[in-house]
Structure formats: C-alpha cells, structure tokens
C-alpha cells in the first residue's frame, strides 16, 4: 500500500493506493468509503480488488482532521454534502482530480465503487467524470442531480440495493429508475430481497434501525460487482 497525501483548500487528505501486479490488465478503481471514513472494511475491499487483478485507490473523503468518532459527528460531517448536491459533486470531482495528479499516468480504465455515502459518491463520479466509465453503488443513497454531463452517456451503472433499506425509500428507487431511463443511461438496479442497509458491512448489527449485515446478499452483490468490472 502506498499513501497519497494531497491538500484540498485547508484540508489534508490521505488516500491509499493498492497497485495491481505488473502483469495484470485490470482497472483502476476508486473506492469511496462509508461515512465512517477509510476503515479495515475498505482495506479488505482493496485487497479483494487486487486479487481480481485491479488497482484500488481508497479515497479519503473527509480529510485527515475530520472527527468521525460518534454518530452525531458523522451526521455533521455528511450534512453539507446531502443538503446541497452541488457541494457533493464539486468535492467528488476535486478528490478525483487530486488522485489523478498524484499517481503516475497509466493506460487503465477507471471505475468508482462505494458503500452507503460512498455509493452515492460513486454514482455521481460516473455521472460527471469523463474518466470514470463504470460506477457501482452498494447500499448507497439515491440522491441524484437534475442535470448530468455528457460523461454519463458512456458510463455503466450498477446499483445494489437492499429491499428493506430504510435509507432508500421505494419512491427514491422508482425515481432513480426514471432518472436513468429518461436519459437513456446504461443502468442495472438489483434489489436484494429481505436485505437491510449496510448489508456488506460485517459489523452492521442494528436491525431496529434497519442496519444489518447479510452475508448471503454480500456475497451475491460482490459477485455481481466483480462481473460488472470485467
């Protein structure tokens, strides 16, 4: 693993690069974390992507100084980005530019995947960034913009959603399908039956709040992702 330290405004961000083997011909994959920031879960994802022949870049969304130690502090950290999608889009774009400037130029297709908040970031990366041609969202929020750039026309999208995810309403699912259909974008949405929010996270264990790890759905979703990235 290599560390990529960059500055965006007054914030210092510490991305983590897990390069592919020299003999591989895979993708360069941006991994956007949950609202908890980069954890061992994302590092495990990076290793799984490496084993599949890809490079993985764990994106430090909030910056090194962000305090994400409590539920309330995570809510405060995420709030500006959910209240104004333009702020989210600008931040995602700036993060991707910072990664591209910091790593050697390579002739690899670029993808974005993400979890929860990161799933939303991955979708927006696919909708606005010309270099991102594949975007995968795992139990991601479905807050989509009113306008998309030309980049989205060449991007494939995979949305992996739990049917019982309280963070994503049935109306939002319907609106998302309409959003992609109206723009004739290449989108696949998979609804995993009986599955709650954060189904990929082994530590998720709060069914009363609609947050619960589901190993069967996690395995199925990951297999779908790996196939989509080929």
The pTM assigned to this predicted structure is: 0.93
pLDDT beyond 80 at 25: no
Contacts for 219 with CB less than 8 Å, ≥ 6 apart: none
pLDDT category of residue 24 using cuts at 50, 70 and 90: low
pLDDT at 23 over 90: no
Rounded Cα–Cα distance for residues 85 and 172 (Å): 15
Statement: residue 104 has pLDDT above 80:
no
Residue 152: its pLDDT value, please?
73
Instruction: For residue 79, count other CB atoms closer than 10 A to its CB.
Output: 10
Q: How far apart are CA 88 and CA 57, in angstroms?
A: 19
The helix/strand/coil state of 51 is: helix
Tell whether the model's pLDDT for residue 188 goes beyond 70: yes
Nearest CA-CA partner of 92 in 63, 114, 124: 124
pLDDT tier at 151, thresholds 50, 70, 90: low
Q: Which CATH class is domain 2-228?
A: alpha beta
Q: Label residue 148 by pLDDT band (50, 70, 90).
A: low
Among 203, 176, 170, 199, which residue's Cα sits nearest to residue 188?
Answer: 176
Residue the block writes with tokens 């995570």: 74
Q: What is the pLDDT of residue 22?
A: 66
- Give the tens place of pLDDT for each residue, 50-102: 999 899 999 999 999 899 999 999 999 999 999 999 999 999 999 998 888 88
Q: Where are the domains of the chain?
A: 2-228
Indicate whether 43 pLDDT > 90: yes
Question: Chain-wide mean pLDDT for the chain?
Answer: 91
Dihedral in degrees, nearest 10, Cα atoms 113, 200, 79, 163: 100
Counting every residue written for the chain, the total comes to 230
Identify which of 107, 112, 148, 117 has the alpha carbon closest to the alpha carbon of residue 133: 112
Q: Is pLDDT of 36 > 70?
A: yes
Torsion, Cα 143 96 200 219, to 10 degrees, reads: 110
pLDDT at 105: 63
Output the pLDDT for position 4.
84
Q: How many whole angstroms separate alpha carbon 97 and alpha carbon 79?
A: 23
User: What's residue 162's pLDDT?
Assistant: 97
């Amino acid at each position: 693993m290599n560390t990529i330290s960059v500055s965006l405004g007054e914030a210092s961000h510490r991305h983590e690069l897990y390069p592919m083997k020299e003999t591989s011909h895979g993708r360069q994959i941006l991994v956007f974390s949950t609202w908890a920031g980069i954890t061992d879960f994302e590092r495990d994802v990076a290793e799984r992507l490496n084993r599949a022949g890809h490079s993985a870049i764990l994106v430090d969304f909030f910056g090194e100084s962000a305090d994400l130690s409590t539920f309330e502090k995570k809510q405060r950290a995420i709030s500006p980005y959910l209240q104004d999608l333009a702020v989210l889009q600008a931040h995602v774009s700036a993060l991707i530019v910072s990664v591209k400037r910091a790593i050697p130029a390579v002739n690899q297709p670029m993808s974005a995947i993400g979890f929860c908040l990161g799933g939303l970031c991955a979708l927006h990366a696919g909708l606005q960034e010309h270099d991102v041609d594949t975007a995968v969202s795992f139990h991601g929020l479905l807050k989509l913009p009113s306008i998309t750039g030309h980049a989205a026309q060449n991007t494939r999208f995979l949305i992996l959603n739990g049917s019982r995810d309280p963070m994503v309403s049935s109306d939002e699912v319907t609106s998302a399908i309409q959003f992609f259909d109206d723009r004739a974008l290449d989108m696949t949405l998979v609804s995993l039956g009986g599955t709650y929010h954060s189904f990929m996270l082994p530590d998720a264990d709060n069914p009363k709040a609609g947050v619960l790890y589901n190993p069967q759905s996690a395995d199925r979703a990951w297999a779908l992702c790996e196939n989509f990235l080929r």
